[in-house]
Chains A and B, each alone.
Chain A
């Protein structure tokens, strides 16, 4: 065999091998990459959001323990701890942050300013009014997510259906919180429309809250829990006071399980799943600034145990319309 024949043979074999390698290799590209998601939550009542988020992410191909790692150290309430937690996640190069509650989202916005770390909030109270995004359709920054708000009127209507004798309503209020201010504004409008007088009592801490309730509860026939970081953190104080003083306590938040008589708010699990859809879009390459902020769905919840405890009678047709009924 002369030299050109050898060369031809070797070249043919090489080309065949190369072609085979390329073809086989092209179908086996490694798409696996570990995604890190940091979660910051200040409300233990909203753990359902995190669960819904994780389940939703799994439906979109981000399976915990597989290709995604969650950094979540449980609920925290201290501002410094919140900032430290967020900063720690940024230091660990988290691919995305999930914030639960308006306050956390505000902190995350401040700490991620100037970075490209995307933040999904689930939820915040009135995202624009809270200063978290500039526009619902085009958030414009590195944050997007779910918002709540606008449900207070309907919540109050349901409350009045369950407690039709309500004329004066006690409303403890921490005016340092933007969410509380906005929530109060909504409540005032609803109360005016539904002819309910509000007894608004400013509070700064739990003690003041207890004192305000003690002092004013007998002057009113109902109590309302505004959407605010402070109130959510002291939700048991509200519900316990309601049972103690046998007055209906309701809220536009989803705190049914913590003793509220009537709750008309989000389903945390559902909100979490929706937030997961937004996070999935972000991780697939769509920038948060182009993903509209969505508003959560509201669900009616009735706690019949609380109703029994305070002696309230819930109409059957109302029960028929409830999404969730706590009977025990």
Chain B
């Protein structure tokens, strides 16, 4: 809120209260005066317009009346032509009181419209051939309609004088028929003079316009001669006058015959509104005078109020500066004197209080000195405390930094690290890897959150191995374990350490060795299969020789059976049975050799699609009720032994067909990259157990019923794929099916 002085507020109030009503009153007066004057001006001009219109009509009616009289009193149509000319001539010479000729021309027409006699003010008509006006309105209207004709008002193009033609029929009283027409061209000079002499204020004027706005009667012939056009406003009031000046305009219509004219009066707006303007001026003067008076009065009154207050303020200022003996004087105004008395009383009490205060101040000086000494001591102590606090704060910051660094190291390790209470199993710390694997485990029980399916501390918990009987740490305890929550293998280092609260806790650091375990298992299997291959090859070689001999011996024996007589047939059956077993053994030996990769391959550029197609054709007969789908498009040719490769796919598809019941599916899919093609054959068959799946490539291992196979199919396939420098994997889940994945290098040597 603005801070105004009391003087300003008082003056504003005075002026506002006095001037506002004056202004409102003045403006109202001005507005009312202006409105009334304007209405009066318009009404006055309306009256003038009406008067002019009535004058014009009366004038022309008088002319019409005179002509009627002339036509009736003188039976002009019965006169001789010379007499007619004389009458017409005399008629034309009629003058108004100002000795101005009324008619410019008088003409008498017979019943055919021929001009019988004519007299003109300006035109010379030769006696012979005065012409005919039979076709003109001047004749036809009065003659046929037997009513007076008024022509449009026209004006002389040289003098600007207005004219109108009035023609009336000459009626035979007995028959009521027209015998001729008497026509006069009336000079509207009288009308013009009347219009010119109208008193419409000092500069007001009147004029007559036709329906198109052309000025036909004006006191200044120049206006008429110039063909001035005035556009009538829609209603009387203020507008632009004939010369463009703002004016109060009024108009009244006047009908002459068939034509409509308007008598227009206009008065300059400045003149019409002169009286309201004078009222405005006077009002303004009054307001200004009142303003001066009010300002003076406001200053006087404010001075009477403000000056004592200013003196009181000066006294207070002097007391503030030390002149305690000063007193505020009286002004003679009751309220202000009371204020001065109250002020003086207040000043007296102030002086007493100051005196008493001085005594108190003196007594307090000693106390103040003691307090100053104590304050210095306190300040020194305070400085010491601040220094100690700063040291501790620095140490805490260093510790926090160290903690951050340690935490950063632990969180960057690829090992799961956590600390747990050895009695309560509560996890006290866990690094980022633990958190990422098992969530936020700090504060929770380790066997609940790190393992699954545990209802009590783990049986393999190492807590009791980390402390000796005296409760001292025994050192690092290393072990391996498969986590029951995520199935990963870990190499674990456990040890007891002293925790920040002094208790012995377990620190466990676990490294993920799952991949290492997988590699180890694969290598173990490969080594095992290699050893079995070597063994199988040796056995096959060792068996083959006796089998060959046995086979030869059987042949010899068959040849000698003829001597056995009746027993020969029976013996032959037995021999054939032995021979069959020998062949079967030889076949097994052969297959063992294939498994042991003793047979050399013939690498050629091979289309895997064709090989798979041939394999499918071989086992097609077994796919009764089983749907086989292929997704093999776009495989590149590889370097391989197509015959051996076909055997691999036959073996795998055979197994899949055997394992898949009717309604199941077998899917063959292949993909390739820059170096390998990978073919997977999956089925929706009965599958094999996890433990069995590790042995499916071992010779003579089979999950089929006895007699359904020798258990060498996948073993042989394994051998062939290894010979191609490829890999073959098997995975299965009981009840859901099995999948064999074969990965072959595009180049054989890969």
With known contacts A137-B225, A153-B124, A297–B90 Cβ distance under 8 A = no
Task: Pick the contact of A291: B92, B222, B281, B284 (CB < 8 A).
Answer: B222
Residues of B contacting A20 in the complex (Cβ-Cβ under 8 angstroms):
285, 288
A49 at the interface (CB under 8 A from B): no
Residues of A contacting B99 in the complex (Cβ-Cβ under 8 angstroms):
323
| Cβ B225 vs Cβ A23 within 8 A | no
B424 at the interface (CB under 8 A from A): no
List which A246-278 residues lie within 8 A (CB) of chain B: 274, 277-278
A81 at the interface (CB under 8 A from B): no
Closest to B303 in A: A1
B126 at the interface (CB under 8 A from A): yes
List which B260-292 residues lie within 8 A (CB) of chain A: 281, 284-285, 288-289, 291-292
Residues of A contacting B101 in the complex (Cβ-Cβ under 8 angstroms):
321, 323
Residues of A contacting B222 in the complex (Cβ-Cβ under 8 angstroms):
277-278, 281, 291-292, 294
Task: Pick the contact of A295: B159, B227, B291, B296 (CB < 8 A).
Answer: B159
B86 at the interface (CB under 8 A from A): yes
B436 at the interface (CB under 8 A from A): no
| Cβ B124 vs Cβ A150 within 8 A | no
Q: How far is the CA of A190 from the CA of B123 in the complex (A)?
A: 11
Q: How far is the CA of A320 from the CA of B93 in the complex (A)?
A: 7
| Cβ B158 vs Cβ A295 within 8 A | yes
List which B123-178 residues lie within 8 A (CB) of chain A: 123-124, 126, 156, 158-161
Binary flags per residue of A4-26, CB closer than 8 Å to B gives 1, else 0: 01001100110110011001000
| Cβ A320 vs Cβ B90 within 8 A | yes
| Cβ A154 vs Cβ B124 within 8 A | yes
B103 → chain A, closest Cβ, in Å?
11
B221 at the interface (CB under 8 A from A): yes
A263 → chain B, closest Cβ, in Å?
15
| Cβ B220 vs Cβ A12 within 8 A | no
Q: How far is the CA of A298 from the CA of B161 in the complex (A)?
A: 13
Q: How far is the CA of A294 from the CA of B161 in the complex (A)?
A: 10
A274 → chain B, closest Cβ, in Å?
8
A-B contact count (CB 8 A): 91
Task: Pick the contact of B124: A8, A136, A190, A296 (CB < 8 A).
Answer: A190
With known contacts A278-B222, A292-B222, A321-B89, A193–B299 Cβ distance under 8 A = no
Residues of B contacting A136 in the complex (Cβ-Cβ under 8 angstroms):
158, 225
| Cβ B299 vs Cβ A8 within 8 A | yes
A134 at the interface (CB under 8 A from B): no
B517 at the interface (CB under 8 A from A): no
Residues of A contacting B159 in the complex (Cβ-Cβ under 8 angstroms):
294-297
Residues of A contacting B123 in the complex (Cβ-Cβ under 8 angstroms):
153-154
A200 → chain B, closest Cβ, in Å?
20
B541 at the interface (CB under 8 A from A): no
A157 at the interface (CB under 8 A from B): yes
Residues of B contacting A296 in the complex (Cβ-Cβ under 8 angstroms):
159
Q: How far is the CA of A23 from the CA of B288 in the complex (A)?
A: 12
Q: How far is the CA of A193 from the CA of B126 in the complex (A)?
A: 7
Q: How far is the CA of A291 from the CA of B296 in the complex (A)?
A: 60
List which A187-203 residues lie within 8 A (CB) of chain B: 190, 193-194
Q: How far is the CA of A9 from the CA of B297 in the complex (A)?
A: 10
Residues of B contacting A5 in the complex (Cβ-Cβ under 8 angstroms):
299, 303
A151 at the interface (CB under 8 A from B): yes
A317 at the interface (CB under 8 A from B): yes
| Cβ B93 vs Cβ A294 within 8 A | no
Closest to B189 in A: A297
| Cβ A294 vs Cβ B86 within 8 A | no
| Cβ A294 vs Cβ B160 within 8 A | yes
A46 at the interface (CB under 8 A from B): no
Interface of A is mostly: helix
Residues of A contacting B285 in the complex (Cβ-Cβ under 8 angstroms):
19-20, 23
With known contacts A12-B295, A156-B124, A292–B225 Cβ distance under 8 A = yes
Task: Pick the contact of A19: B225, B288, B303 (CB < 8 A).
Answer: B288
Residues of B contacting A157 in the complex (Cβ-Cβ under 8 angstroms):
124
B660 → chain A, closest Cβ, in Å?
115
With known contacts A1-B299, A281-B220, A151–B291 Cβ distance under 8 A = no
Residues of A contacting B226 in the complex (Cβ-Cβ under 8 angstroms):
137, 290, 292
| Cβ B126 vs Cβ A16 within 8 A | no
B207 → chain A, closest Cβ, in Å?
15
Q: How far is the CA of A323 from the CA of B90 in the complex (A)?
A: 14
Residues of B contacting A153 in the complex (Cβ-Cβ under 8 angstroms):
123-124
| Cβ A321 vs Cβ B92 within 8 A | yes
A187 → chain B, closest Cβ, in Å?
12
Residues of A contacting B92 in the complex (Cβ-Cβ under 8 angstroms):
321
Binary flags per residue of A292-311, CB closer than 8 Å to B gives 1, else 0: 10111110000000000000
Q: How far is the CA of A294 from the CA of B221 in the complex (A)?
A: 8
A57 → chain B, closest Cβ, in Å?
15
Residues of B contacting A27 in the complex (Cβ-Cβ under 8 angstroms):
281
Residues of A contacting B225 in the complex (Cβ-Cβ under 8 angstroms):
136-137, 292, 294
B122 at the interface (CB under 8 A from A): yes
| Cβ A193 vs Cβ B124 within 8 A | yes
Residues of A contacting B227 in the complex (Cβ-Cβ under 8 angstroms):
137
Task: Pick the contact of A194: B126, B284, B288, B299 (CB < 8 A).
Answer: B126
Of the listed residues B159, B221, B222, the one surrounded by the most CB atoms of chain A closer than 10 A to its CB is B222
Q: How far is the CA of A290 from the CA of B228 in the complex (A)?
A: 12
| Cβ B221 vs Cβ A298 within 8 A | no
Q: How far is the CA of A248 from the CA of B581 in the complex (A)?
A: 187
With known contacts A1-B303, A19-B284, A317–B93 Cβ distance under 8 A = yes
With known contacts A320-B90, A320-B93, A154–B284 Cβ distance under 8 A = no
B124 → chain A, closest Cβ, in Å?
4
Q: How far is the CA of A92 from the CA of B412 in the complex (A)?
A: 118
List which A1-56 residues lie within 8 A (CB) of chain B: 1, 5, 8-9, 12-13, 15-16, 19-20, 23, 27
| Cβ A8 vs Cβ B295 within 8 A | yes
A192 → chain B, closest Cβ, in Å?
10
Residues of A contacting B158 in the complex (Cβ-Cβ under 8 angstroms):
136, 147, 150, 294-295
A257 → chain B, closest Cβ, in Å?
17
Closest to A298 in B: B122
Q: How far is the CA of A16 from the CA of B99 in the complex (A)?
A: 60
Q: How far is the CA of A222 from the CA of B187 in the complex (A)?
A: 33
Task: Pick the contact of A16: B93, B122, B156, B289 (CB < 8 A).
Answer: B289
Residues of B contacting A190 in the complex (Cβ-Cβ under 8 angstroms):
124
With known contacts A278-B222, A291-B222, A294-B159, A16–B124 Cβ distance under 8 A = no
| Cβ A151 vs Cβ B292 within 8 A | no
Task: Pick the contact of B291: A16, A150, A323 (CB < 8 A).
Answer: A16
| Cβ A9 vs Cβ B299 within 8 A | yes
A252 → chain B, closest Cβ, in Å?
12
Q: How far is the CA of A165 from the CA of B156 in the complex (A)?
A: 34
Closest to A152 in B: B124
Q: How far is the CA of A13 from the CA of B89 in the complex (A)?
A: 79
Q: How far is the CA of A294 from the CA of B303 in the complex (A)?
A: 76
B244 → chain A, closest Cβ, in Å?
12
Q: How far is the CA of A5 from the CA of B123 in the complex (A)?
A: 86
B173 → chain A, closest Cβ, in Å?
27
Task: Pick the contact of B90: A151, A281, A317 (CB < 8 A).
Answer: A317
Closest to B161 in A: A297
The 8 A-B pairs with the shortest beta carbon distances in the complex, nearest first, are: A295-B158, A321-B93, A292-B225, A153-B124, A157-B124, A12-B295, A16-B288, A16-B292
17 A-B residue pairs with CB within 8 Å? A1-B299, A9-B295, A16-B288, A16-B289, A23-B285, A137-B226, A193-B126, A194-B124, A291-B222, A292-B160, A292-B222, A292-B226, A294-B160, A294-B221, A294-B225, A295-B156, A320-B93
Residues of B within 8 A of A (CB): 86, 89-90, 92-93, 99, 101, 120-124, 126, 156, 158-161, 220-222, 225-227, 281, 284-285, 288-289, 291-292, 295-296, 299, 303
Given contacts A153-B124, A294-B158, 19 further A-B contacts (CB under 8 A): A9-B299, A12-B292, A13-B292, A23-B281, A137-B225, A153-B123, A274-B221, A281-B220, A292-B222, A292-B225, A292-B226, A294-B159, A294-B221, A320-B90, A320-B93, A321-B90, A321-B93, A323-B99, A323-B101
